[in-house]
Amino acid sequence: MQGWPEAGIERTVEWVDTDASGHQHNSAILRWVEAAEAELFRALDLPDYFPSAPRVQQVINYKAKLWFGQRITATVKVQRLGRTSLTLAFEVLGHPLAASNGTPDGVSPDGASPAAAVVAAYGTVTTAHVPAGSLSAQPWPEHFVRVISGTGAEEHPVSS
């Protein structure tokens, strides 16, 4: 059985991604998630998704801080395809920092080796299909449902 489509990106936390305390600004998480989302829809060859899929809900659970210079991985996966909506689940992992960069979370508790990657944030983003010229959500086009559902729509029934 084929699973829902997913994609990910890797980035480095840049200075512009941080706030005055040196860790990631809340908005950086969404930018990385949106970059992974763009990667997903490029890979699926569905460029018409973006101009017609406004966000209707975003849920972000912050678990750990990310620091300037730290590598991150953001992944998104289709969680649910509704008649007019799509929900993506996401996760942002922070990878270990070198002990020499001086950030508070750079080493493991024993101070000797880099810490393991940790979930910094997770959640969902829900979009609705609102094609150009429409004022309300409309059913997803057949080609979109077919691509998102993979080889067999029976494996992933579309819910309302």
pLDDT in tens, 109-155: 445 445 689 999 999 999 999 999 999 999 999 999 999 998 444 33
Element spanning 50, H or E: none
Q: Maximum Cα–Cα distance for the chain, whole Å?
A: 59
- Higher pLDDT, residue 3 or 83: 83
For the chain, the residue count is 160
* pLDDT at site 158: 44
Residue 155: how many other CB atoms lie within 10 Å: 12
pLDDT band per the 50, 70, 90 thresholds, residue 2: low
Q: What is the pTM of this model?
A: 0.83
* pLDDT at site 22: 86
- Under 8 Å between Cβ of 95 and 71: yes
Domain 1-99+141-152 has CATH 3.30.479.10: no
**Phi/psi of residue 118, nearest 5 degrees:** -125, 150
pLDDT band per the 50, 70, 90 thresholds, residue 90: very high
pLDDT at 17 over 90: yes
pLDDT in tens, 35-84: 999 999 999 999 999 999 999 999 999 999 999 999 999 999 999 999 99
Residue 53: how many other CB atoms lie within 10 Å: 23
Compute the distance between CA of residue 82 and CA of residue 129 in angstroms, rounded to an integer.
Answer: 10
